[in-house]
Amino acid sequence: MRTSPIRDFLVGCFVLIGLGALAWLSLSVGGLSLGSSHGLVLYANFTQIAGLKPRAPVVIAGVKVGDVESITLGKQYAARVRMVVEPTLELPIDTSASIVTAGLLGDRYVELQPGGDAQLLRSGEEIGFTEPAMQLERLIGKFIHQTDVGGGSGEKGADEKGKE
């Protein structure tokens, strides 16, 4: 093989372009964070998450501030959601979290409602006030049930608000 600097240069270009494409796919599209959990880690327990998935956005006033990292089953059969939000965020300790739906049938995400306390949440702490996901299908079921029976049981089985 006649050694050719142009050839080597082209190989170098190829490797760079390929690695660039891989990096873009991994970091930007795939959302891989180098140095994981590099942010404020918060936990929240919900009695019902109804289709909230890892990587769902966490928003305040409609602005995305972080992601749901993982969801596990916690104490008393509650869903324990681990979220990572921007480290610079200053959230009062009485902040509440609720699971809401984008539109009627859209994806679910976590909405944070900052409170007014002077004390701030630190990384790894738990959000005390939570509101579970509204389940449209259950609501509809209840509605049909009510109209059929006519009055009746009311909202006995409504999800309790927040954690005990």
Partner 1 sequence: MIRRPIEAVGRATLTFVAELGGIARFAAAVVRALLTPPVRARPFLNELFKLGVLSLVIICVSGLAVGMVLGLQGYNTLARFGAEQSLGAVVGLSLVRELGPVLTALLTTGRAGSATAAEIGTMVTTQQLDGLRMMSVDPIDFVVAPRALAMVAVMPLLGALFIVCGIFGGYFVGVHLMGLDGGVYLSSLENSIDFHDDVAQSLVKTVVFGALVGLIATWRGYASVPTSAGVSTATTSTVVVSSVTILLFDYVITSLWGV
Q: List residues binding partner 1 (CB under 8 A).
A: 1, 3, 7-8, 10-11, 13-15, 17-19, 21-22, 24-26, 28-32, 54-55, 57, 107
Least separation in angstroms between residue 29's CB and partner 1 is: 5
Give 95-162 as a DSSP string: -EEEEEESTTTS-EEEEEE----SSBP-TTEEE-EEEPPP-HHHHHHHHHHHHHH-S-S-STTPPPSS
State the Cα–Cα distance between residues 32 and 45, nearest whole angstrom.
Answer: 25
Q: 8-39 burial string, b = 16+ CB within 10 Å, else e?
A: eeeeeeeeeeeeeeeeeeeeeeeeeeeeeeeb
Q: Which is nearer to partner 1, 30 or 51 (CB)?
A: 30
Least separation in angstroms between residue 35's CB and partner 1 is: 14
Read off the tokens for 17: 């372009």
Least separation in angstroms between residue 8's CB and partner 1 is: 6
Q: Which is nearer to partner 1, 57 or 128 (CB)?
A: 57
Least separation in angstroms between residue 81's CB and partner 1 is: 17
